[in-house]
Amino acid sequence: NAGVMQNPRHLVRRRGQEARLRCSPMKGHSHVYWYRQLPEEGLKFMVYLQKENIIDESGMPKERFSAEFPKEGPSILRIQQVVRGDSAAYFCASSAGGPLETQYFGPGTRLLVL
Amino acid sequence: GQNIDQPTEMTATEGAIVQINCTYQTSGFNGLFWYQQHAGEAPTFLSYNVLDGLEEKGRFSSFLSRSKGYSYLLLKELQMKDSASYLCAVITGRRALTFGSGTRLQVQP
């Protein structure tokens, strides 16, 4: 049973470009969460999605960031017009039921903005 | 608001026992998780406490006191591979995990 998959593992972008981060949840999981981890800091919640629905986006920056989890395919975290401060590790997690169930994390995407 | 406190760093000796504390002040509480994270890797699930008391799982145990807003992770028979960050996270009424900043544990020979 494959775990949570994320790609790419490493992504380099120049300021002003777009970054697309993909997450495939564990088989049988329909709840996806995105977290951001800045260097030497803890994980910060960004957004919680179920298939085709955003349940909680209270941790998402108001501008440039968006997330989706379509009926088919992976969840996508999209960052438009990246800035240096967006450089971080972005982790996706999934759970079978809602957040009261254990969340399993993917390996993360390390975004570097030059 | 949400506030979760853990010590920043701890050092322990191989074979010993170490206790990592976590205190929290949150609006709503539905459970507490502990995760292990090695440098550059994903967090991996260790334990989940909802009710007061001790949960034991092999060399790792986790304790929760809801009335005190307190939890600890106990690691026994420490091994070098236990050197990692240990993350305390709380599920609140916001329906999302709120993480502490993590405790970096260094196990020495």
> Which residue(s) pair with B10 in the sheet?
B105
Q: Label residues B58-67 b or e (16+ Cβ within 10 Å = b).
A: eebbbbbeee
pLDDT tens, residue by residue, A65-92: 999 999 999 999 999 999 999 999 999 9
pLDDT tens, residue by residue, B26-57: 888 889 999 999 988 889 999 999 999 999 98
Q: Which residues contact A5 (CB under 8 A, 6 or more apart)?
A: A23, A24, A74, A106
> Which residue(s) pair with A49 in the sheet?
A32, A54
> Hey, what amino acid is at A95?
S
Mutate one of B36, B37, B85, B87 to test the A interface: name it (highest A CB count within 10 A).
B37
Token look-up 């030059």 returns A114
- Inspect the interface and report whether the beta carbons of B42 and A106 lie closer than 8 Å: yes
Are the C-beta atoms of residues A17 and A7 closer than 8 Å to each other? no
- Pairing outcome for strands B3-5 and A65-68: unpaired
Q: How many CB atoms lie within 10 A of CB A86?
A: 20
Which residue is closest to A91 within chain B, CA to CA? Answer: B42
In the predicted model, is pLDDT for residue B1 greater than 70? no
Mutate one of A103, A104, A112 to test the B interface: name it (highest B CB count within 10 A).
A103
Helix, strand counts (H, E) of chain B = 0, 11
